[in-house]
């Protein structure tokens, strides 16, 4: 995963050109799952939950992992690998939205991050 295009919390709301029709995209979001909060794919993008940390959307299969920092209660980074289901169309817009919430809380009240992606024509 060395040369994959990567987005972080700091890229929230910015439009981006993506480089490849078929290569995965990485999204790295800081958080602390020891507090009960976790970054999740927004429900509006999920077509099917296909595993504990895997969802399938209209355009991407998204796998989530968590990289903890050392120390009790220390935060870490949620890493989402977003793999296109089929080749993306040049010039089309694609959206990735993530919410930071506890499982019992409403998505409407959660902090969110959204990326607008467009494949270079």
Query: Residue 90's pLDDT is what?
Result: 80
Q: What does the alpha-carbon distance between residue 59 and residue 108 come to, in Å, rounded to a whole number?
A: 23
Share of residues in the chain with pLDDT > 70 (%)? 96
pLDDT digits (tens, 9 = 90+) for 65-83: 998 887 777 789 999 999 8
Distance, CA of 30 to chain centre: 12
Domain 6-116 has CATH 3.40.50.720: no
Query: Residue 2's pLDDT is what?
Result: 56
pTM of the entire structure? 0.86
Over residues 46-75, mean pLDDT: 84
More confident: 28 or 72: 28
């Amino acid at each position: 995963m060395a040369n994959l295009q990567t987005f972080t919390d700091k890229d929230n709301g910015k439009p981006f050109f993506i480089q490849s029709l078929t290569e995965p995209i990485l999204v790295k979001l800081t958080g602390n799952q020891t507090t009960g909060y976790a970054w999740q794919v927004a429900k509006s993008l999920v077509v099917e939950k296909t595993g504990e940390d895997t969802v399938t959307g209209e355009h991407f299969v998204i796998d989530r992992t968590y990289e903890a920092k050392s120390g009790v209660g220390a935060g870490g980074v949620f890493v989402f690998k977003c793999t296109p289901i089929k080749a993306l169309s040049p010039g089309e817009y694609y959206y990735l939205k993530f919410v930071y919430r506890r499982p019992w809380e409403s998505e409407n009240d959660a902090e969110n991050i959204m990326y607008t992606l467009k494949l270079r024509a």
